[in-house]
Amino acid sequence: MNLGIVILNWNGEELLKQFLPSLINFTPIKHNIYIIDNGSNDNSIGFVENNYKRIKVIKLDTNYGYAKGYNIGLKNINDEILCLLNNDVEVTENWTENILKQFELEPKTAIIQPKLKNYYEKSEFDYAGAAGGYLDKYGYPYCDGRNYKKIEKDLGQYDKIKDIFWACGACFFVRKKIFEDHNGFDEIFWAHMEEIDLCWRIQNSSYKIRYNNTTEVFHANASTLNQNNPRKTFLNYRNKLFMITKNSQNNLFFLLIEKIFIDALISIFILFSKGFNHFFAIIKAYFSFYKHLNLLLEFRKNEKREIKHYKIRSIICEYLFYKR
């Protein structure tokens, strides 16, 4: 079972200097390593070409974002299993072996996420993916190991192989054929949550998304776009709307009414806690959603919506009132 490890890079020279050594040291030579460069204008490509002859570079002419950048670049890669890896992830010894064995044993498994831990506090889970992800009714993501804002220490509490709803794009193993059969990432997202949307669509085709605790990697979360950037707030709120409109089984009218009410309350809190720029980013997210609504409804009409996407109604309420 051949593996291609693929890093999407944009102006990440310093991150590549920091994180490529562990990837080269701990990845068997039989596996291919690629960098898709999203039109960088720093010295990312020069650095890689001068120092890592093993790595194959795929150059794109501009920054297409995460979704389209991967979709374009992966057309040039033919490995059976792909690992989509952020340029800010430190891998560990034997990090690919158990994942590939799991794919061999589980033909209905489409995507696997390893245990994701915090690069800066290595006893803690990572914010982004932790021990596997889920959604609440309104599209808010949460993870085992990270309950809304609260990060857990890794005490072995999630040390089992299990089904999850979504796998984090920071370290995302996927069968290439299934990725292609589902048309890859939806490019309307540009970046953020496109991997959750893909996991949702793949499960509607009766495949599984799995978590494997026996492999762990360390993620320097938000190295490219951090939580304090209003652009991230915009993408997070808009793309949650995109996801539930496309994929939810629920009555869409009532679901959106409930979500608008919840997001309105949260936006008031954000206005006072993060400032006007983040508050305005949420407003812009809704305008962008309405602009794309007809396209989203067309997708909804033509695609299968087989699975219920949530077990918890609102992760925010659980966090604030029940201390899940």
Residues pairing with 35 in the sheet: 7, 57
User: Whole-angstrom Cα distance, residue 113 to residue 169?
Assistant: 9
The answer to whether residues 150 and 268 belong to one domain is: no
β-pair type (141-143, 133-135)? antiparallel
In a domain, 225, yes or no: no
Helix (H, G, I), strand (E, B) or coil at 181: helix
Q: What's the pLDDT score for residue 225?
A: 66
User: Whole-angstrom Cα distance, residue 162 to residue 132?
Assistant: 9
The answer to whether residues 171 and 240 belong to one domain is: no
Residue with tokens 């072995």: 156
The answer to whether residues 75 and 160 belong to one domain is: yes
Structural domains in the chain (count): 2
- Written as six digits, the tokens of 212 are 């494997």
Instruction: Classify the C-alpha dihedral 48-53-54-59 as positive or negative.
Output: positive
Range of 155's domain?
3-219
The answer to whether residues 179 and 253 belong to one domain is: no
What does the pLDDT profile of the chain (324 residues) look like in tens digits? 899 999 999 999 999 999 999 999 999 999 999 999 999 999 999 999 999 999 999 999 999 999 999 999 999 999 999 999 999 999 999 999 999 999 999 999 999 999 999 999 999 999 999 999 999 999 999 999 997 778 999 999 999 999 999 999 999 999 999 999 999 999 999 999 999 999 999 999 999 999 999 999 999 986 666 678 999 999 999 999 999 999 999 999 999 999 999 999 999 999 999 999 999 999 999 999 999 999 999 999 988 898 999 999 999 888 776 654
The answer to whether residues 112 and 21 belong to one domain is: yes
The answer to whether residues 212 and 267 belong to one domain is: no
- Written as six digits, the tokens of 71 are 């979709």
Q: What's the pLDDT score for residue 323?
A: 56
Q: What's the pTM value of the predicted model, to 2 decimals?
A: 0.95
Q: What's the pLDDT score for residue 224?
A: 65
Half-sphere exposure of 297 (CA within 13 A, CB side): 10
CATH value at residue 180? 3.90.550.10
The answer to whether residues 110 and 83 belong to one domain is: yes
Contacts for 84 with CB less than 8 Å, ≥ 6 apart: 6, 8, 70, 169, 171, 172, 173, 174
The answer to whether residues 128 and 247 belong to one domain is: no
- Final residue of a structural domain among 185, 219, 253: 219
DSSP conformation class of 189 = G
- Final residue of a structural domain among 168, 187, 219: 219
Helix (H, G, I), strand (E, B) or coil at 118: strand
User: Whole-angstrom Cα distance, residue 273 to residue 267?
Assistant: 10
The answer to whether residues 118 and 252 belong to one domain is: no
Q: What's the pLDDT score for residue 223?
A: 64
The answer to whether residues 212 and 241 belong to one domain is: no
The answer to whether residues 316 and 244 belong to one domain is: yes
In a domain, 224, yes or no: no
Q: What's the pLDDT score for residue 319?
A: 74
Residue 126 has a CB neighbour count (10 Å cut-off) of 29
The answer to whether residues 140 and 184 belong to one domain is: yes
- Final residue of a structural domain among 179, 199, 219: 219
